[in-house]
Amino acid sequence: MWHASILPADARAKIPRPARVGFAQRHITRRLRLAVIFCPKPGLWRLMVLQGSGFLSRLMIFTRPHFPLPLLPALAAALSAHAATEADRARMQFFENEVRPLLVQRCFECHAEKKQKGGLRVDNIGYLTAGGDSGPALVPGEPEKSLIIEAVRYHNAELEMPPKEKLAEKEIAALEQWVKIGAPWPESEARQVSMDEHGFTEEDRKFWSFQPLTNPKPPVVKGGWARNDIDRFVAAKHAELGLKPAPEADRRELVRRVYFTLHGLPPTPEQTRAFVSSTDPLAYEKLVDELLASPRYGERWAQHWLDLVRYAESDGYNQDALRPHAWPYRDYVVRSFNADKPYDQFVREQLAGDELAPEDPEVLVATSYLRNPIYEYNQRDARGQYEVVLTDMTDNAGEVFMGLSMGCARCHDHKFDPIL
């Protein structure tokens, strides 16, 4: 029931009433009740919310004096929620009109999806609060603690952004105001970006090369193009992208491809004619086995490994002194490829052969990998030169055996890779 006036007179008489309701309370309840009943337009709601009691005090229309006071908290909550909605809308409009265009025009070139100088992105509130190499760029509600504000003010010579030209005072003021009001950002776009103690986000750890190995089942594909499981994955991707495979190579093209792939040299005219004219259904398989059994195969493919480990027969740098005893390591790599040595054994022998089999000359030669870095004989800075060699080998080992560049980790947490 809204109030007792809707009851019969005899029933109303039995309801206890307050001894006295003050005039001010009665006046307010009248105005509040009137505000609820006689506000047919949204614009009037807005006027009431913005002007508050001043609006109510100017309503000179009287209504019934009795208002159910228990409804006052609900009414106050409704008014507060409406006011909050209006304030949020105004804050978001300020961001869209004043701040987002500024970030796009003056910041995205160096701090967005394609490029992140200093490890910082500003195209999402999550990235701003997570920050970059210098720490969190944004502390909502705290302009004085936000690096983005410090940078645009140009008060710190080592932290001035944008670096080419300072923002206009009006633009700086807009950023300051945005941070001060809590740095509003559309919830539909916002990302939660949290970093662990080493500075890596969950998104960083989802990078494809850090995922555990799986054994996926080859997809079922149509047609007869696929001849093995790898072909089936390729064919499925072709179908997904609406592509067609290239025409099959003829025998002359095929024999040249096989020779270039396995030996790095073209076949002779005689070898080409022999393969093209062969009627043996296993001619291709036999040719591949023949080329793999040749010493030329190890010589060809050892080049790729020697490039990775930066093998050279001189020191590099200015003096570039010769290394007359470098060649045994080169031959070890060639023999390993020709012997089809297991990769795990190949790696262990190079990293710790002297510890695993110190009596085996073949394995001892493998550790010559650790003597491949560039070197310059310099007695004036022997200690510094030693540090250069160790650092160079650490970097190369990370790149070759782990697929991780480790140069950045010399001085700080790595920008991309989870290296402790």
Backbone angles phi, psi at 286, to 5 degrees: -70, -35
Asked if residue 162 has a cis previous peptide bond (ω within 30° of 0), the answer is yes
pLDDT, position 45: 40
The answer to whether 178 and 99 are in contact (CB under 8 A) is yes
* DSSP states along 123-183: SSHHHHHH-BTTB-S--TT-GGG-HHHHHHHT-BTTB-SSSSSPPPHHHHHHHHHHHHTT-
- Mean pLDDT of the 131-144 span: 88
pLDDT in tens, 215-264: 999 999 998 899 999 999 999 999 999 999 999 999 999 999 999 999 99
Q: How far apart are CA 140 and CA 250, in angstroms?
A: 66
pLDDT, position 274: 97
List the end-to-end C-alpha distance of the chain, in Å, as a whole number. 69
Q: List Cα–Cα distances, 157 to 121, 151, 163, 417, in angstroms.
A: 21, 9, 10, 30
Q: What is the pTM of this model?
A: 0.54
Q: Which residue has the tokens 């591949």?
A: 288
Q: Kindly indicate the confidence band of residue 415, based on its pLDDT and cuts at 50, 70 and 90.
A: low
**Closest-CA residue to 132 (of 152, 112, 104, 153):** 112
Q: Which residue has the higher pLDDT, 291 or 198?
A: 291
pLDDT, position 188: 60
Q: Exposed (0-12), middle (13-18) or buried (19+): which is 67, by Cβ within 10 Å?
A: buried
pLDDT in tens, 316-332: 777 788 889 999 999 99
pLDDT reading at 190 higher than 70: no
Q: How far apart are CA 140 and CA 143, in angstroms?
A: 7
Listed in sequence order, the residues at least 6 apart from 410 whose beta carbon sits closer than 8 Å to its beta carbon are 391
**Closest-CA residue to 174 (of 83, 89, 101, 85):** 101
pLDDT reading at 396 higher than 60: yes
Percent of the chain with pLDDT over 90: 41
Q: Which residue has the higher pLDDT, 409 or 337?
A: 337
pLDDT reading at 306 higher than 50: yes
Q: How far apart are CA 376 and CA 220, in angstroms?
A: 58
Percent of the chain with pLDDT over 70: 74
pLDDT reading at 15 higher than 50: no
pLDDT, position 228: 94
**Quick one: how far is CA 257 from the chain centroid?**
39
Q: How far apart are CA 384 and CA 377, in angstroms?
A: 11
Q: Kindly indicate the confidence band of residue 304, based on its pLDDT and cuts at 50, 70 and 90.
A: very high
Q: How far apart are CA 313 and CA 322, in angstroms?
A: 6
pLDDT in tens, 52-107: 444 444 443 334 444 455 555 555 555 555 556 778 888 888 888 889 888 988 99
